[in-house]
Structure 1
Amino acid sequence: MRNDLERIKDIQEAIQKIEKYAQRGEKEFFENELIQGWILLQLQIIGEAARAISRETHHQYSNIAWRDIIDFRNLLVHEYFRVDLRIVWRIIDQEIPELKSQIQVILDS
């Protein structure tokens, strides 16, 4: 669990970095390639950390969409030409806040 806790903290930190730039809004996200790249990197980090977390922790916190997070990381890394920025923004806007809450529950327990 110790290693898992470190990876959970990595996810929390990446979420904070995403929020820092996402707060500039959707228009800025779509117009600024540096922000896009930074946020995509943080999403990769979240996926890599999720992949490194043990199966036991995945099962214990099965309300988190671990497989989807890992699969999205794989898309970002291996099939980056298929990345749709509208989907990325939807993830930032709708799914990152939920993941943030779920990660906080783990850290609080």
Structure 2
Amino acid sequence: MSKGCKVYFMDILESISKIEEYTKGMEYSGFTGKSLVYDGVVRNLEIIGEAVKKIPADVKKKYPEIEWKKIAGLRDILIHEYSGVDLRIVWDVVVTKLPPLKESVKRIMKELA
């Protein structure tokens, strides 16, 4: 794996770790009631999406189980439609999508090392 590509995967893992830290022990109601947490989560989802956009297409093709386009698309929505973002969708991503993404990225980094 190229050094640049590794950095993108490291950015993804770092952002997921931050989101996990921000939301640890939190329920949806707590998430929606804390704007600092929400803002931090959204910012790190944007970073994940930006990193995904920079990963080379040949690497993405090797791992079709990851929803690369959806991740990048979420980033675009968060950046361009910030005031209209549905908090339920953001929370669902945090709870259901990030844990498997984290495991997949860890596996990819081992395989491409």
| Alignment correspondent of 1:3 | 4
| Alignment correspondent of 1:63 | 65
- TM value normalised by structure 1: 0.95
Runs of 4+ aligned residues of structure 1 deviating over 2 Å after TM superposition are none
- TM value normalised by structure 2: 0.92
Determine the C-alpha separation between the residues in 2 that align with 1:74 and 1:24: 28
The Cα RMSD (Å) is 0.9
Superposition deviation, residue 3 in structure 1 = 1.2
Name stretches of at least 5 consecutive residues in structure 2 with no aligned partner. none
Superposition deviation, residue 81 in structure 1 = 2.3
| Alignment correspondent of 1:20 | 21
State the one-letter code of the partner of 2:24.
Q
Aligned positions, number: 109
The secondary structure found in structure 1 opposite 2:9 is helix
Offset from partner CA, 1:3-50 (integer Å, 9 cap, x none): 111100100000000000111312321110000000000000000000
Offset from partner CA, 1:59-108 (integer Å, 9 cap, x none): 01111100000000000001112210011001000001010111111122
| Alignment correspondent of 2:42 | 40
Determine the C-alpha separation between the residues in 1 that align with 2:83 and 2:34: 18
Name stretches of at least 5 consecutive residues in structure 1 with no aligned partner. none
